[in-house]
Each structure stands twice: as structure tokens, then as C-alpha cells.
Amino acid sequence: MHSLITRAWVEIDLGALLRNGAKMAAHAGVPLLPMVKADAYGLGAVRVARALEQLDPWGFGIATIAEGEELRAAGITRPIVIFTPILPADFDAALRADIMPTLGDRASIEHWIVSKRPWQLAIDTGMNRAGVSWTDVDSLRDVLPLCPPAGVYTHFHSAELNDASRDEQERRFDAALAKLPVRPALVHADNGAAVEHRGHSRWSIARPGVFLYGVSSGHSPQIVPEPVASLRARIVDLHTVPSGDSVSYDATYTASGERRIATLGIGYADGYRRALSNRGIVLVHGRRVPVAGLVTMDMTMIDVTDVPCGIGDVATLIGADGNDRLTVAEVAGVAEMSPYELLTGLRGRLPRRYLDDEAAA
Ligand SMILES: *Cc1c(COP(=O)(O)O)cnc(C)c1O
């Protein structure tokens, strides 16, 4: 049961997470390197990684040294690969936590290989974000044999569009791979969307992220994930607003007739975005009700005139209630933001509640 002291929380269905991972692995036909960066897209990296251990993943992907240290402290022993370039000042910390860097800069590579510890070569084939350009791989020919990379990878910029850009990036990747003195055993490119659209991977492992967390890339994928995350908040105040009175800051909502307004214990400082002011939809007892007025830092008002409810009742801002459901994609769409941004924006002050994964093991 949800304790009454909790004003708002994120609920994470670890069974659904596992089933999404199993579905993706089966479709890809290769082991996974689940991306658990940004605290597993806001859902809690340690619990998520521990649950995904059951799928025997190749390793885990992160973006900061601290994220890797957290996983190590929690007892994760598989390879942890950091997909943001790290600077030499971070090398000691990476070595201590046994974090495998992805590098593309010659000076960084020269510096790292002194350690003789494994690393991966990042090749940029069009994202223009990180890694050695696919046209410049030759320039590393002398340094690569000194400590050959354990793996090599690239990243698609538009996999979710399922368009010709992916083929072009793979053509560039193939050309770059042909220039390596030795082709590493581990070669990877597919993110979740690439697997969703294409199925069987050409590469050694796949790097899904948001699919595991219940969000599809859309655009008619071949496989669809189960929802994983729900966002819930309690009604903490309830009042009748006379016709003509306004609600919240700047008086952007005016009651047309007498309205019943409930206040939820959640606001933009929790990650319920201000862009949802006067536009968001919330489920109360399985029925859709609108956000009334501006979302404030710690509280959000909704119009519950048509839905009997009381203080302490639970409202669902993302997820299922009764026969209805608000998906991450739908709420993000209303806020005109990406589902990734909405999920990773759910702030640390929201407690995480995990529905057990035992049933799915
Ligand atoms: C975040 C990330 C992924 C996962 O992307 P999704 O779109 O969430 O599947 C894969 N590879 C790299 C390098 C990433 O940074």
C-alpha cells in the first residue's frame, strides 16, 4: 500500500522492464548493453541494472563517472561503458571504478593506453557529437596497435525515423572499420529504435535505452514495449471556486461557473513541467480531468468538478488508472517535449516505488 505521507511518487514496474528487455534481446538476436545513464532515464539505475542482470546483458552503458561508481558500489560487476568522452583528469576515477571509456581523441587515447586497461573506440559517422570522424580513422593507425580497443562503436542520429540516413551511417562505419589495423571482437551501433525497426542486429551487441523504460520510438516499429513508469500524486487540498475567480499564479484560468478544484502535491520542481499548465490531463478515479491554471513549483491544481473525490485520493499523471492510461509519449506531446526529456526530468525529490520483478524472473 502507498503510505499516506507520500505526496507524489514514481512507480516503476520492474516486471514490465524485464519483459521489454527480453523482447528487445529476442528481436535483436544479440546480447544487450542496456543504457542506464541519467539514473536509468530517471527510473533508478541501481534497481534497473539489478533487475536487468536477469537477462545476462553484456554490460551497462552510462554517461558520467559518478553513475558508474554508483553501480559498482551496488555490486554490479559486469563491464560498465561510459559513452561520454572523458578527459584525462577523470582517468584515475575511471580506472578505480573499472569503467571502460569510449575515446576518439588521439591525445586521450595515448594517455589512456598507458594503463593497458580496456577501452572502446568511438567513431562518428554523422552525429557530429563524439568520437573520431569516420574519415580520420587512418590517423590513429600508429597508436591503435599499442593497445587495441576492446570494442568499436558508432551512434545513429535518426534511427527512430527509419530512413536512409541509417544505411548511410552504416556505410561510413563499414568504411572506417575496414581501415582499422585489427577489427575488434565487439562492434556495435544499434540503439533501441534501430532494433525496433530492423530486428536482427548486424552487430555484436545492441544498446537500447528508452524502449526498456516503456517508450516506443513510434513510427510503426515492429515491437512495442509495455509501459514501465507511472507518476502519481495525492490530492492535498480541495475547494470550491466561485464563478469568475481565478486559479494559480497570473490568473490564467478563470472558473466559468462554480468549479471544484483539487490541489495535487506535485509541481514543476518534481518534474511535472510548467508547460502542462492549462493543458495537462490527469486521471482521477479512472476519469480524465484537466490541469487548471499554471503548474506551480510544488503544487498543481486540477478541475475535478465532474469527479467525486476527496483529500488523500491518488491522481495519476502518467500511467494507468481504471480503464484509461496516460502514456509518457502522450504527456510529453502535450508539453511539446521529448519523452526522454519528460522521463529524465522527474526529479530526485520524488520517491521511487518499485513493483517487484519476481513474477517476471
Ligand atoms: C542514449 C544512448 C543509447 C540509447 O538510446 P535510446 O534511443 O534510448 O535507445 C544508445 N547509444 C548511445 C551512445 C547513447 O548515448
Among protein residues, the one with the nearest Cα to ligand 1's atom 6 is 209
Least confident range from 39-53, 220-234, 255-269, 317-331: namely 220-234
CB atoms within 10 A of CB 352: 17
pLDDT of residue 361: 40
Q: What atom in ligand 1 is closest to the CA of residue 210?
A: 8
Q: What is the mean pLDDT of residues 347-351?
A: 90
Residue owning grid cell 491544481? 301
pLDDT classification of 359: cutoffs 50, 70, 90: very low
Q: What atom in ligand 1 is closest to the CA of residue 213?
A: 8
User: Quick check: helix, strand or coil at residue 288?
Assistant: strand
Domain spans of the chain? 31-207, 229-360
Q: Are 9 and 353 in contact (CB under 8 A)?
A: yes
Which of 30, 80, 155 to mutate to test ligand 1, by most ligand atoms within 8 A of the CB atom? 155
Q: Could you list the active site residues?
A: 37, 249
What is the CA(331)–ligand 1 centre distance, in A? 21
pLDDT classification of 5: cutoffs 50, 70, 90: low
Do the two domains 31-207 and 229-360 of this chain adopt the same fold? no
- Non-local CB neighbours of 1 within 8 Å, separated by 6+ positions: none
Q: Mind giving me the DSSP string for 307-326?
A: S---TT-EEEEEEEETTEEE
Among protein residues, the one with the nearest Cα to ligand 1's atom 8 is 209
Cell of 355: 513493483
CA distances from 248 to 147, 242, 243, 254, 329 (A): 61, 14, 15, 10, 26
What is the CA(112)–ligand 1 centre distance, in A? 24
Q: What is the mean pLDDT of residues 295-300?
A: 98
Mean pLDDT of the chain: 95
Amino acid at 232: R
Residue owning grid cell 586497461? 117
pLDDT digits (tens, 9 = 90+) for 95-118: 999 999 999 999 999 999 999 999
What is the CA(131)–ligand 1 centre distance, in A? 15
What is the CA(273)–ligand 1 centre distance, in A? 23
pLDDT of residue 219: 76
Does 201 contact ligand 1 (Cβ within 6 A)? no
Cell of 259: 468549479
Does 188 contact ligand 1 (Cβ within 6 A)? no
The CATH number that domain 31-207 falls under is 3.20.20.10
Does 210 contact ligand 1 (Cβ within 6 A)? yes
**Residue 238 predicted with pLDDT over 60:** yes
Does 208 contact ligand 1 (Cβ within 6 A)? yes
What is the CA(52)–ligand 1 centre distance, in A? 16
**Residue 221 predicted with pLDDT over 80:** no
Does 34 contact ligand 1 (Cβ within 6 A)? no
The CATH number that domain 229-360 falls under is 2.40.37.10
Amino acid at 305: T
CA distances from 258 to 238, 246, 249, 282 (A): 13, 11, 19, 20
**Residue 350 predicted with pLDDT over 60:** yes
Q: Alpha-carbon distance 247 to 301, whole Å?
A: 8
Does 277 contact ligand 1 (Cβ within 6 A)? no
